[in-house]
């Protein structure tokens, strides 16, 4: 394993190794057991989009591992003034031991990996958010003590989160049902690839426009914002189109009685989810956010 550009890069076994490693690192942190396994290593963190969780969890995680994180906002580095990804990759590779990047185009992340000589971690693109879904899988694993055989329902926009969930669930043996409105479906290429993984693991992938069909008998109900970063201008139109895809108490009650609710955050209460659900007893969104820290430490420990 050299890069984490999408969950395509990880085998099922590697995903479970990361989850086990994350559990171990979480235990060590909670019990004050030193785990400075990246002493002296540096991570460059390029951001061309906003972030709370990704920035803080990578930065704090690197410090806990004994390493040194550098926050590189595109507003401050020459990339933001037109220096190429290729040159940025070549230059940063001379200074740092790994690069995490959050940006728009997946191809920029891939170019960074292609032209650089250090591991690259995708901290979200328009197409994927692999670190988020590793944290989601850890949260589900901790809550249900297994992944294999469970069903996850994703309701809302066919976005980066939905794409990474399709890969993640199909690789670990979880059924996944995705309900999106017409015109906002998941990327067809991603669905096709996920279906190939699903064939190998015996998983069912359901693609539907009907949120009730998706949520029925689900162990995990997941949603995300209707307006992702970069889509701000479409906000009013999207709110109208997505209004029947809200995860509210009524929809959530169609899932299994002991279903859990997940959301990558940031959440917009009253839009994609009601407060009744996200602030209710079956919501694990803050454990999920915490798990970003543990799972990314595992990723960095394995890659850097």
| Rg of the chain (C-alpha set) | 19
- Comparison of 229 and 239: residue with beta carbon closer to ligand NVA: 229
Closer residue to ligand NVA, CB minimum distance, 89 or 131? 131
Q: Does 6 bind ligand NVA (CB under 6 A)?
A: no
Query: 270: number of CA atoms within 13 Å, CB side?
Result: 0
Q: Tell me if 109 contacts ligand NVA by CB under 6 A.
A: no
Q: What are phi and psi of 181, to 5 degrees?
A: -70, 160
Handedness of CA 130, 133, 139, 141 (dihedral sign): negative
Q: What is the DSSP letter of 123?
A: -
Tell me, yes or no, if 236 is annotated catalytic.
no
CA angle 239, 245, 247 (to 5 degrees): 110
Options 264, 273, 289, 301; binder of ligand NVA; rule CB under 6 A? 264
**Shortest distance, CB of residue 132 to ligand CP, whole angstroms?**
5
Q: Which is nearer to ligand NVA, 221 or 304 (CB)?
A: 221
- Strand intervals (E) in 83-204: 98-102, 120-122, 151-155, 175-179
User: Given 53, 129, 238, 263, which residue is catalytic?
Assistant: 129
Report the 10 Å Cβ neighbour count for 236.
9
Helix axis angle for 12-30 and 285-303, nearest 10°, is 110
246 catalytic, yes or no?
Answer: no
Residues in touch with ligand CP (CB under 6 A):
51-54, 124, 132, 264-265
Of ligand CP, ligand NVA, none, which one does residue 52 interact with (CB within 5 to 8 Å by kind)? ligand CP
Give catalytic status of residue 163 as yes or no: no
Nearest-approach distance from CB 124 to ligand CP, in angstroms: 6
Distance, CA of 22 to CA of 222 (rounded, Å) = 22
Considering the rule CB under 6 A, would residue 161 count as an interface residue with ligand NVA?
Answer: yes
103 counts as binding ligand NVA under rule CB under 6 A: no
Instruction: Give contact residues for ligand NVA (rule: CB under 6 A).
Output: 124, 159-161, 224-225, 228-229, 264
| Residues annotated catalytic, as ranges | 102, 129, 132, 224, 264, 292
């Amino acid at each position: 394993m050299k890069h984490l550009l999408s969950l395509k890069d990880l085998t099922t076994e590697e995903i479970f190794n990361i989850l086990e490693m994350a559990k171990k690192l979480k235990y060590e942190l909670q019990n004050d057991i030193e785990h400075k396994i990246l002493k002296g290593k540096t991570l460059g963190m390029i951001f061309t989009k906003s972030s709370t969780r990704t920035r803080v969890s990578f930065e704090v995680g690197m410090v806990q591992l004994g390493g040194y994180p550098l926050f590189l906002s595109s507003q401050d580095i020459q990339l933001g003034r037109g220096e190429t990804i290729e040159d940025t990759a070549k230059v940063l590779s001379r200074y740092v031991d790994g690069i995490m990047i959050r940006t728009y185009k997946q191809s920029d992340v891939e170019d960074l990996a292609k032209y650089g000589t250090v591991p690259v971690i995708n901290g979200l693109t328009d197409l994927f958010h692999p670190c988020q879904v590793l944290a989601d899988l850890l949260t589900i694993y901790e809550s249900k003590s297994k992944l294999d055989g469970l069903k996850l329902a994703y309701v809302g926009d066919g976005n980066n989160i939905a794409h990474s969930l399709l890969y993640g669930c199909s690789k670990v043996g979880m059924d996944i049902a995705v309900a999106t409105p017409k015109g906002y479906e998941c990327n067809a290429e991603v669905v096709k690839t996920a279906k190939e993984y699903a064939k190998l693991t015996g998983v069912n992938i359901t693609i539907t426009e009907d949120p009730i069909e998706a949520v029925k008998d689900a162990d995990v109900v997941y949603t995300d914002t209707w307006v992702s970063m970069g889509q701000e201008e479409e906000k009013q139109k999207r709110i109208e189109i997505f209004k029947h895809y809200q995860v509210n108490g009524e929809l959530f009650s169609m899932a299994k009685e002991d279903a859990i609710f997940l959301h990558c955050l940031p959440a917009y209460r009253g839009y994609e989810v009601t407060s009744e659900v996200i602030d209710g007893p079956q919501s694990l969104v803050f454990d999920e956010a915490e798990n970003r820290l543990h799972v990314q430490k595992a990723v960095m420990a394995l890659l850097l």
